[in-house]
Amino acid sequence: MGSDVLVLAEHAEGELAESTFELIGKARELASAWGGQTHVAVLGAPRAAGALGGADVVHVVDHPAVSVYSPEAYERCMLSVLEHVQPKLLLLGTTTPGMDLGAALSVLWDAPLAAYAVGLVAEGDAAVATCQIYGGKLMAEVVLESERSIATVIGGSFPPSPGRSGGAGSTCTDEPPDLGDLRTVVRGVKVPEATGVDITAADILVSVGRGIQSRDNLTLVEELAGALGVPLSASRPIIDQGWLPKAHQVGKSGQKVKPRAYLAFGISGAPEHLEGMRDAELIVACNTDAGAPIFDVAHYGTTIDLFDLLPELSARLGG
């Protein structure tokens, strides 16, 4: 039975994602508990391999079809790397590739999957994953004891530094599998337009979520942000409604922010939101639901209705 751990490296234009190092660090810990090795697969970015010092073996698969992420081509390459490495555990991020590939490979490679993991430990031959469920309101402990299994891990769950250095890794170039007749073909990559607002540069952010209920009510947070002289940021639903531009979105699919203070109003604290703001120096959260996950990361919290609290804050800061 295999005892190796395989990580899929994620990169954008050759630059490796921070989450990749988080996974490699964890992979090393697990592989050493099982007496195995840490493997990393890099698809389409051969030059990135040099930066993967934490791996024992780096598998590079290079082909024009994987230079940009595409689920079908990636899936075929991963199946071929999995065949070759036969790892005990495959680690992916809870990212777009991780959601595509984790779920699909659990069928195609026939391995149980634990999704949204925030913790992973070796327990004898098994891996035990702690996963978020119900938007982070509960946790699930999942035992992965098959010969092969998969975990998709939420970004920021493990420290990246153990994945950055270590093993005197070797690199091997894997022959790409047959990538002919793909049904999915990438046409281009779109990056968001610059809007002049950079919420990542602000000292303080006033951040608003679905608890605000309507576009008209946004004036309440605008007043507070105005009084403080700071930008507004928001959870994804506010952006999806078209109430604020994308550049204001905090979270996994928005911006990662680290202000000196993050004031959250009517934001539940879904895992995808926390990923973007949990490192703020000071977090103050207003949410009428005392069980909202935002209070797990907040330093100060209040269950007062935001419609009562915001005017009080603005009135005191306005003059």
Binding site for ligand FAD (CB under 6 A): 209-211, 235-237, 249-254, 266-268, 270, 272-273, 276, 286-289, 292, 305-307
- Considering beta carbons, is residue 170 or 214 the nearer one to ligand FAD? 214
CB of 240 to ligand FAD, least distance (A): 9
Say which entry of ligand FAD, other proteins, none residue 81 contacts (CB below 5 to 8 A, set by partner kind). none
Instruction: Return the C-alpha torsion angle 285, 160, 14, 170, nearest 10.
Output: -160
What is the rounded distance in angstroms from the CA atom of residue 308 to the CA atom of residue 4? 55
For 209, residues 6+ apart whose C-beta sits below 8 A from its C-beta are: 234, 235, 237, 238, 264, 265, 266, 267, 268, 273
- Considering beta carbons, is residue 219 or 288 the nearer one to ligand FAD? 288
Question: Which two three-digit tokens encode residue 50?
Answer: 């040099």
Say which entry of ligand FAD, other proteins, none residue 282 contacts (CB below 5 to 8 A, set by partner kind). other proteins
CB of 166 to other proteins, least distance (A): 27
Asked if 11 and 45 count as a contact pair (C-beta separation under 8 A), the reply is yes
- Considering beta carbons, is residue 60 or 144 the nearer one to other proteins? 144
CB of 308 to other proteins, least distance (A): 4
CB of 252 to other proteins, least distance (A): 7
Asked if 38 and 87 count as a contact pair (C-beta separation under 8 A), the reply is no
Say which entry of other proteins, ligand FAD, none residue 273 contacts (CB below 5 to 8 A, set by partner kind). ligand FAD
Residue closest to ligand FAD when measured from CB atoms: 251
Separation in Å, CA 226 to CA 25, 106, 277, 318 = 43, 49, 21, 8
What is the rounded distance in angstroms from the CA atom of residue 163 to the CA atom of residue 180? 34
CB of 288 to ligand FAD, least distance (A): 4
